[in-house]
Every structure is written in C-alpha cells, then in structure tokens.
Amino acid sequence: MASEIRVNKINNRAGLGTVSYTDTGIIVSGISTATNFKTGSSNLHSTGLTVGDSFLHSTGINLGTGVTFSNNGNATFSGIVTATQFKGDGSQLSGIDASALKFGDATKVQATNTGAVVTGILTATSFSGDGSNLSGLASREVYGFTGIGKSLSLTTTNNGADNITNATYVAFEESFIGPSGISFSINTSGNLIMTV
C-alpha cells in the first residue's frame, strides 16, 4: 500500500509566508512566484496582463486592436473619438477645411490664394484700400460750372471715365464732387435745379 501524507498548512521559513489548504481553495500569504497565472480569459505573465483581447504592459495599454495608450503620453484610436470638447493645437487634424468658415446657411467666408470670398452680407465699421472694383456703388463725379454770357456750362467726368485737368478744374466758377447720375436743369425763374 502506497504512503500518503495529508497536511492542511505548510510553513515556510520564519517570516517568508505560509500555504494553507482549505475546503474552498489554497490561501498563500507572502510572495507567490510562478511563470504564469491564468483564470478564465485573464492571463498574468512576465510581460503584462492580458484580459480578453486587451493587454496591459510596461509600455502602455492596448484595448483590443482599436485603442493604444502609450507610456509616452500618446493615444492612438482607429475608430471614432467623441468628446464634448477638444482643446489644444489642432493644426495636425485632418478632414477639416480650414480655408472655409461657415456661419449658418447664408454666410460663408472662403479663403483663396488671392484673398477672401464672402457669400452674404459683409458689414464693417470702415473699408480701406482700392475700391475701384466694388460693384453696386455710384462712382464719384466732378461737376464743374462755368458761366458763358447768359448761359451756364456744366462739365463732368462722365461717370469717372474722363479726366479733368487741374487748369480746367481751377477755372470752374463753382464745382463739387458727388455721386454720378445727378442731372441739372434751369426752371422758368432762371434757377438751377439739381435732380438726384
């Protein structure tokens, strides 16, 4: 008949721990060393902890194949990242048209190589620079009056198309600069009537 030794507790050297055997399992006090600890889908091994398809190791955390947190502070996501707010430098973000700003459905500012194209109404406290290509504006007109006997001569710049020399301008008896399209007439009383 074979020999059999039954114990319910093994004491290691003093202070280093014990192993107790109970009806529900083994209780170890002290440091337990093994090449691998495994239960269910969890696997604790020398390079880290694997739980299912997630891996915790010294260089970071892999959550399946879609998310990686590295120990250098970087995080990589292969799917959609949703947050209530994003902060910081977004200069490396892709898929964003930084050349176009849209405000509602009616106004859009599009940056081009030659300037900015605004769709909608552009309002400013002032405009500076060359406005010669602005449309929808009445051009400035020079109106010069010269009396010739009992007649009155009117000289204009023809909606800004003609030039008036300085000598001609100085010779005017009366002159002013106003919007183009003003017409003049003399009534029966001999008064000059201006119609805008």
pLDDT in tens, 50-81: 777 777 777 777 787 788 888 887 888 888 88
Q: How confident is the model at residue 12 (pLDDT cuts 50, 70, 90)?
A: low
Question: Of how many residues is the chain composed?
Answer: 196
* Residues 10 and 18 sit within 8 Å (Cβ to Cβ): yes
pLDDT at 4: 63
Residue 125 burial by CB count (10 A; 0-12/13-18/19+): exposed, middle or buried?
exposed
| 22 token code pair | 């109970």
Q: Can you give the residue ranges of every domain in the chain?
A: 9-78, 140-195
Segment 167-191 shows an average pLDDT of 85
Indicate the pLDDT class of residue 6, thresholds 50, 70 and 90: low
The percentage of residues in the chain with a pLDDT greater than 70, rounded to a whole number, is 84
Q: What is the pTM of this model?
A: 0.33
In the structure encoding, which two tokens stand for residue 1, read together?
A: 């008949």
For residue 22, how far is the Cα from the chain centroid?
64
* Mean of pLDDT values over 94-105: 70
- At 34, list the tokens: 């093994």
pLDDT higher than 60, residue 1? no
Residue whose entry in the numeric block shows the structure tokens 């769709």: 119
- What pLDDT shows up at residue 10? 66
- DSSP symbol at 35: S
Instruction: In whole angstroms, give the CA distance from residue 62 to residue 50.
Output: 9
Chain Cα centroid distance, residue 102: 11
Output the six-digit token pair for 45. Answer: 């091994």
Mean pLDDT, the chain, as a whole number?
Answer: 78
pLDDT band at 84 (very low <50, low <70, confident <90, very high): very high
The burial of 142, by beta-carbon neighbours within 10 Å (0-12 exposed, 13-18 middle, 19 or more buried), is given as buried
Kindly report, residue by residue over 109-119, the tens digit of the pLDDT. 777 777 777 78
Confidence of residue 14 (pLDDT cuts 50, 70, 90): low
- What residue has token string 């000598």? 167
